[in-house]
Amino acid sequence: MARPYNFSAGPAAMPEAVLRQAAAEMLDWHGCGMGVMEMSHRGKHFGAILQQARDDLRTLLAVPENFHILFSQGGALAHNAIVPLNLAGRHPARAMDFVVTGGWSDKSAKEARRYGDVHIAASSAEQGYTTIPDPTSWQLRERPAYVHLCGNETIHGVEFHTLPDLAALGCEAPLVIDFSSHVLSRPIDWSRVGLAFGGAQKNIGPAGLTIVIVREDLLGHALPHCPSVFDYRVLAEQDSMANTPPTWGIYVAGLVFQWALAQREGDAQGLAALELRAQRRAQLLYDAIDGSQLYVNLVHPAHRSRMNVPFFLRGDDGEPLRDPNHPRNAAFLRGAEARGLLQLRGHKSVGGMRASLYNAMPLDGVQALVDYMREFERQA
């Protein structure tokens, strides 16, 4: 029986092959007589799982050797505090610059205010987070502890398709990116990044696992009140074993990494294949929205997310219907669920609909959504 298509923004759909393997190995991993949840994290079996997962992620994202890959916990929201606890100390007044392009970077900036002097270098709040301010207009300070941006805004559907070159903008600081919701969908230009972090529960694996990739020279500046197990230097020195790591999450993430490495589209393999698919999925849905009279996406076309597509049905007056309980929205969601198109309701702060198109979403799923949208429009 075919599974429904799950458009959840996260925790989100996972590759069926990964779920099947995790189920099959639940009581006995590779003949060792224990399931992965039952293994000591210090034993040889889990040691092999951890190392393979880290090596595969390094391969997938072409992470240079001078960056550490850390497996932590707490999600992006916890690391909104943990990143400044680790990096703010690089500047004597704990100066941190933020680029705010949606709900997530806004949350990051607010949490960082607890730990130092936060400056909003740019914001698209006045545009309702539907665009990304041109980097040449950013009011960056010369040498803050770091500059933060959110690579892909899961709620507002805005994505950086190119990372800024801070040095070229006159700012001598490492760039920190929250890559929670588009990691593994595109390459990362590590020459422009000092630290990348994200929760796993969108494009990687189970909620609870948090991945941090940090350049070696940024370690060692933790503030005195940073909890030991969240000091990235301690995590790096102890091989992500400063405390018991979320072993199941690392195992499942590792299965996703192996799945990702094996994907092919024509000549493209691994991350290149995943990026090609992400482009095709997004193109199919945005074309359907733009070609319709009923649906609308409000994000500037140059900054639209490939991963999270918020869209609205229009009311009879042509205006976007934000209220999820409006009868037209409710009818749309009911019909979608009846066709096995799940979790399309928009985020409460934006309303309307949102289709999240992560790596585990096949093109057929987007086609099914587009077919349904056209059918609904004809009948509306």
CA distance 105 to 110: 9
CB of 192 to a second copy, least distance (A): 27
Measure the CA–CA gap between 14 and 201, rounded to whole angstroms.
9
Query: Applying CB under 8 A, does 247 fall inside the site for a second copy?
Result: yes
Whether 52 has a binding-site annotation, put simply, is no
Binding track over 313-352 against a second copy, x by CB under 8 A = ---------------------------x-xx---------
For residue 28, which of 45, 41, 50 has the smallest C-alpha distance? 45
Q: Give the per-residue contact string, 128-167, with a second copy (x = CB under 8 A; - = no).
A: ----------------------------------------
Q: Does 365 bind a second copy (CB under 8 A)?
A: no
14, 209 Cβ separation under 8 angstroms? no
Give least dist CB 100 to a second copy, A.
17
User: What length does the chain have?
Assistant: 380
Residues catalogued as catalytic: 104, 178, 202
Count of Cβ atoms closer than 10 Å to residue 225 Cβ: 7
The single residue among 151, 198, 245, 365 that binds a second copy, judged by CB under 8 A, is 245
Pairing of strands 117-123, 95-100: parallel
Among 58, 119, 215, 248, binds a second copy (CB under 8 A): 248
Cα separation, 276 vs 316, whole angstroms: 37
CA-wise closest residue to 343 among 333, 352, 335: 333
DSSP 8-class letter at 304: B
43 binds a second copy (CB under 8 A): yes
Tell me the CA distances in angstroms from 135 to 105, 121, 123, 278, 321, one per residue in order.
16, 10, 11, 25, 32
- Tell me: does residue 50 bind a second copy (CB under 8 A): no
Rounded to the nearest whole angstrom, what is the least distance from the CB of residue 227 to a second copy in the complex? Answer: 3
Coil, helix or strand for 245?
A: coil
Query: Distance between CA atoms of 380 and 369, rounded to whole angstroms?
Result: 16
Question: Cα–Cα distance between 17 and 255 in angstroms, integer?
Answer: 9
Does 47 help bind a second copy (rule: CB under 8 A)? no
Q: Is 42 annotated as a binding residue?
A: yes
Binding part of the chain for a second copy, among 7-15, 145-153, 302-310, 325-333 by CB under 8 A, reads 7-15
Question: Residue 258: which region, alpha, beta or left (left: phi > 0; alpha: psi -120 to 50)?
Answer: alpha
Strand partners, 209: 73
- The two three-digit tokens of residue 345, written as one number: 């309701």
Amino acid letter for position 159: E
Determine contact, residues 378/342, Cβ cutoff 8 Å: no
Of the ranges 189-197, 205-213, 276-284, 312-320, which one interacts with a second copy (CB under 8 A)? 205-213
Q: Give 216 or 237: the residue with its C-beta nearer to a second copy.
A: 237
10 belongs to the binding site for a second copy (CB under 8 A): yes
Binding mask 58-97 for a second copy (x = CB under 8 A): ---------------xxxxxx-xxx--x------------
Q: Degrees (nearest 5) of the Cα angle 281, 318, 128? A: 65
- How far apart, in whole angstroms, are the C-alpha atoms of residue 204 and residue 210? 10
Contact 281, 298 (CB under 8 A): no
**Residue of 173, 162, 175 lying closest to 105 (CA atoms):** 175
Judged by CB under 8 A, which stretch of 201-209, 259-267, 325-333, 365-373 contacts a second copy? 201-209
| Smallest distance from a second copy to CB 369, Å | 15
Based on the shown chain and the rule CB under 8 A, indicate whether residue 35 belongs to the binding site for a second copy: yes
Binding of a second copy by 252 (CB under 8 A): yes
Contact between 284 and a second copy per CB under 8 A? no
Among 86, 101, 131, 201, binds a second copy (CB under 8 A): 201
CB of 229 to a second copy, least distance (A): 5
The residue ranges that bind a second copy (CB under 8 A) are 3-4, 6, 8-14, 16, 19-20, 22-24, 26-28, 33-35, 37-41, 43, 73-78, 80-82, 85, 111, 114-115, 199, 201, 205-209, 223-225, 227-230, 242-249, 252, 340, 342-343
Feature table: binding site for pyridoxal 5'-phosphate: 104, 154, 178, 201, 243-244
